[in-house]
Amino acid sequence: MVDHYKKEKERGNKRGESRSLSVWLIIAVVVVSFAGGFVLDRYAGTHFGTWFSSMSRMKNIFLSTALGHTPHFYFLEVEKNGKDYRLVQGDTFELSYRDEFVIKKVSSDSLFERGITVDIEGMGTDDDFKKVLDGRELIDKVITEKKKSDEKRYNIQVKYHDKIIATIPVNITITPQDWLRLARGSKSKASQIRYLKRASDMKQDDVNTRKMLAKLYVSSGKITNGISEYKKILELDPKDVSALIGLSGAYMSIKDYGKAIQSYRKVIRLTPDDYVPYMNIAYAYSRMGKWARAVANYKVALKLKPDNIEIRYRLAEAYGKTGEVSHAVTEYQHVLKRVPNDINVMSALADTYLKTGTYDEAIELYKRILQRQPKNATAYANIGLAAGAKGEWKREIDNYEKAISINPKDPVIYFNLAVAYEKKKNYAKAVKAYEKVISLKPDDTDAMFRLADYYGKRKSYKKAVDLYKKILEITPQSATAHAHLGFAYGELKNYKNAASSYEKAIQYGVKDKQIHYVLAVVYDKIGKTEKAISEYEKYESLNPSTDVLTRLAEHYLKKKEYDKAIDAYKKMIQRDLKNAGLYSSLAYAYGQKGDIGNEIKNYKTSLRYDSEDDAVYLNLAEAYEKKKMFEEALRAYTNAYQLNPDTEKAARKIPEMKIKILRQKHQKK
């Protein structure tokens, strides 16, 4: 055991001595090299060029390795896309997204590259030395961080034990393809738009990129931006059909139908055999309410594509809007032959039959619909409408009730049922149906009007007032509601509120001329005579009547507005040329004015149509007397007395006139 241990120890001592000798040998070589390099570098370096430089580098290696000095950096050896490059301090590393590279070697004073690391900022790891890297990683980082392509903020940093010994800038080249690549890879529309915008800014004549950007703008709701991009494309190529179509669609989406039509017209000039632009133009016209033009364009589209049932269906719809119902029926029938089980087509045709009064055909189609859709409440309701139009009241009500059993929350069906009950004079059920409409649709003013009118006819004016008030809460400017409310207030003798309601009805443009008459009556009731007369005058100007003219004439006489009174009587005479009383009244007005000649003339005309009126003779006699026509006055007084011997004035005036005649003759002599 002891001997064996001694032998092993001896062998170990020999190995240790051998290793120590090697280390000392290396140190000696380094020292000699350092010393020699130092001396040669100091005193003879300029004479021996490269050899002396190598010796100087050996000195630097010794200082770095033995004494821990920071090593000098000489160059990087880089392989990029299969080619080798050498980068020294002051160089720039050019990088694009297509580049794949690896830093293979770092030349420095560090022996065997000990303690050396390489960090490429913005990509890879903390040590990218001898690792294969892709330029796309750094390019994507620059783009996503919104850095500008000319900002050289990324570098290759060579480090020795975390101390930077060299920095080589990385020059990043961003191309339009980078932005396009990121746009395709992004799921965010906002990011896609941003990337495509950068790409189009870099290459403004890239039509395809602009199309992608325009389409994305439109799909994300930024229609104005999309339109702007399409216009830029068309500036580059005015005949770009896809851009024109995209622009047209953008205008359609913002309902600028006029510009959409103009754009589609340009498409037609480039592709005259394409039916789609005509179809879209027709649709645009339909949205503008120009149905005749819609028809014209649908017809052209159908001529280009005669087997397209959608065009024919839209054409039928447009015919219906222009009132060309027979053409609409023809087109719907044609479509129905192609798709005999299509519910929408059957419904459209049945509805058209209903509008045209072809009730039996409508009912048959609605029955076909019910065979396929037994729970179609609308079909039952429309059968009810058709039956009602035919006078089949029981069938009408039965179908409405079936519709309600399927859809008990449809206020329209309840409304039609209520109207049907009214026609049958079943008012109790009608009232309940109208009330149901209002409970389902509290803002249904039609139902409220019908119910309020019913209460008015039943003289339940308080209930009517409440309903008209609710209507006015919903539609405060409803002239009709204000007028009806005024009537209800009037019947309740609430004349002040009646006047206020009638005034609002006129303010909001009521079309019933009678409103001025009823307002005048109400004004009379509350003592507003002048306002009453004003309304009577308005009514008379719109709808002359003897009753109103008489009221006006009497008022004018009281106010001593004789010319107005005369005009009123003349208007009445025009309506009744042989009315003796009107001539008598006109004569009286002339008399009050002092126009005795016309007074006499009209009394005489009055007597022509009624020669038995003693009062007129008496008035005529007085007029003659004013004119000192005593003989004529005597005859008139005599006629008055003969017609009515109880006329004291006539009896007294007869002898008086005789005396005046004698005096008048004596004065002449």
Amino acid 46: pLDDT: 43
- 36 vs 613, residue with greater confidence: 613
Q: What is the pLDDT of residues 580-593, one digit of tens each?
A: 999 999 999 999 99
Amino acid 160: pLDDT: 86
Q: What is the pLDDT of residues 111-148, one digit of tens each?
A: 677 888 888 887 878 888 888 888 777 777 777 665 44
Q: What is the mean pLDDT of residues 55-69?
A: 59
- Same fold yes or no, 442-543 and 614-668: yes
- How much of the chain exceeds pLDDT 90, in percent? 62
Res 10 pLDDT > 60: no
Q: What is the pLDDT of residues 411-458, one digit of tens each?
A: 999 999 999 999 999 999 999 999 999 999 999 999 999 999 999 999
Q: What are the residue ranges of helices labelled H in 339-444?
A: 343-356, 359-372, 377-389, 393-406, 411-423, 427-440
DSSP 102: E
- How much of the chain exceeds pLDDT 70, in percent? 85
CB 211 within 8 A of CB 195: no
Q: What is the pLDDT of residues 89-119, one digit of tens each?
A: 888 888 877 788 889 888 887 767 788 888 8
Per-residue pLDDT band for 161 (boundaries 50, 70, 90) equals confident
Amino acid 208: pLDDT: 81
Taking the whole predicted model, whether its pTM rises above 0.95 is answered as no
Closest Cα to residue 302, out of 319, 287, 290, 288? 319
Strands 155-160 and 83-87, bridge-based pairing: unpaired
CA 116 to chain centre: 68
Res 668 pLDDT > 80: no
- CATH of 614-668, picked from 1.20.120, 1.25.40, 1.10.30, 1.10.760, is 1.25.40
- Domain residues of the chain, as ranges? 19-69, 70-174, 442-543, 614-668
Amino acid 425: pLDDT: 92
Amino acid 295: pLDDT: 96
Amino acid 123: pLDDT: 81
Buried b / exposed e across 96-132, counting CB within 10 Å, b at 16+? bbebebebebbbbbbeeeebbbbbbebbbeeebbeee
- 652 vs 68, residue with greater confidence: 652
**Fold adopted by 442-543:** 1.25.40
